[in-house]
Chain A
């Protein structure tokens, strides 16, 4: 373990006894030297466009947002969606207005038999974080009937945080007992 850093002993203890903080161990990081909008930001958006498709035509996808994170690896990422407004029919039991939800936001309740499958989700690779809109008709009993997403009616704030932990440094802490 490196010798430089800050260690803080617990109240009434010495640094050879119980530590409450040790900067020498790795931590989950975010580098605020960088353009913060690339690593941590709030983005206003709708749920997407009124994608329209049939069961036979198959699902559709569209890109709602992308940011080039300028890291050279696939970083750890947290994304959540804050719902400001949504069509009343879609909010029963799902994603209540005024709450943040996690990295997949269902625009229609998932799992309804014959109901469209409509959600937005995050992808991350070595270059981009992207927010995508997915829409599938899901109505096998009426395979040529066109279903249309009400995604434009959603008003959402997306929050994302991209961490600067590359996993390139394999690490196992000393375990004290």
Chain B
């Protein structure tokens, strides 16, 4: 039937709106947030030598979601994270289809110290392992805003919203405030240590990338902790290797110092930049 809703930003006729001039296009996916929460947990100071997965929380989405972890600094205990000369230390974060975990490395023979993990987590309701590209109807002639007096506002009463609010989080939809939309998601296995994604945005877009590990892949470092399920690592812009975007492709390169993980599948989300940033 082809029904849907498109709302352009204030001052832009809908039929002349470029993607970056839209507040809503219901054909698109958005960076919808499923869970946002702070976590403060203490973990055992001593376990036998090895890497352990401790569950932080359930997300319950039944797919491998894009998610972000923000570690809080300064820690109230010393900064153990990623300092491998401490025992135990946090070696990373992963999610399976139901939960988010912290991976902790324990080493026998080294003095065990208490480990307290404080962080914020954001889980997106977005299965980035699904092949998806947003439909788009680029106008032949793009419009520039001429007036800024027409728009729509839906306030969020639960957050104390009013139409005069200056806090963007107190609206469920307000045309001058844009939800970040998704242009493309998917996965790709590296070929000859290179991943190339064709996105056809026509300028280098903002992107987030990560790795997905399948338990049956030989050498998968997560098979011991997750023998029956695939896992996904947090979204990142770096991936411990070189990732670059050009006008029509997103590429990740491997190499001695910047290796794509040969045991992993590259996963990505390319965002729709919310303003004209092509240059």
Contacts and interface: CB of A to CB of B under 8 A. Distances in A.
Interface string B134-173: 0000000000000000000011111100000000110011
Nearest to B242: A94
Contact of A32 (B31, B68, B256, B275): B275
Nearest to A1: B158
A12 B5 contact: no
Contact of A169 (B36, B258, B277): B36
Contacts, number: 180
B208 to A, nearest CB: 8
A169 B3 contact: no
Interface string A83-117: 00000000001111011111110000111000000
Nearest to A106: B242
A161 B168 contact: no
B113 interface: no
Nearest to A25: B32
Helix, strand, loop or mixed for chain A's interface? loop
A76 B68 contact: yes
B1 interface: yes
A11 B27 CA distance: 10
Contacts of A79: 237
B244 A165 contact: no
B275 A2 contact: no
B232 interface: no
Q: How large is the interface on B (under 10, 10 to 19, 20 to 34, 35 or more residues)?
A: 35 or more
B12 to A, nearest CB: 12
Nearest to B166: A33
B244 A6 contact: no
Chain A contact patch, size range:
35 or more
A159 interface: yes
B159 A169 contact: yes
Contacts of A1: 158
A111 B259 CA distance: 12
Interface stretch (B85-93, B174-182, B183-191, B219-227): B174-182
A100 B178 contact: no
Interface string B236-248: 0110001111110
Interface in A122-150: none
Interface of A: 1-6, 8, 11-12, 20-33, 36, 40, 42, 76, 78-80, 82, 93-96, 98-104, 109-111, 157, 159, 161, 163-173, 175, 177
Given A23-B172, A173-B33, 18 more contacts: A2-B172, A25-B34, A26-B36, A28-B180, A93-B242, A98-B247, A99-B251, A100-B205, A101-B243, A103-B237, A103-B238, A111-B257, A159-B206, A168-B169, A172-B37, A173-B35, A175-B60, A175-B61
8 contacts: A6-B172, A12-B1, A26-B169, A27-B30, A101-B245, A164-B168, A167-B122, A173-B33
